Amino acid sequence: DTSILPICKDSLGWMFNKLDMNYDLLLDPSEISAIYLDKYEPCVKPLFNSCDSFKDGKLSNNEWCYCFQKPAGLPCQNEMNRIQKLSRGKSLLGEF
């Protein structure tokens, strides 16, 4: 039911349209990866895992917009925070 999904903010809708290189109104992993630089590479898979509610390997406009308005936070930011916490834990263990 897409009627419960939030309306996409202008900038999110614009970004979706810019990333949709084949104009099929869906984003696939290759289109999404175009927005990330090397240091954000770990974000692509978590983005799909948390945003692809239909689990079809593509993001519709509704999935895209809803994902960036979730109360749990942005998927990439959450993944980067998780990686940083793991790195800090490893460095602390390395000191002993």
User: pTM of the prediction?
Assistant: 0.66
- DSSP-based three-state secondary structure for 37: coil
- Looking at domain 10-87, its CATH architecture is Orthogonal Bundle (1.10)
- Domain ranges for the chain, please list them: 10-87
User: What is 20-70 written as a DSSP string?
Assistant: -TT-SSEE-HHHHHTT--GGGGGGHHHHHHHH-TT-SS-EEHHHHHHHTT-
29-85 pLDDT, tens digit per residue, is 888 877 665 655 667 777 777 888 899 999 998 888 888 777 666 666 777 777 778
3-state secondary structure of 51: helix
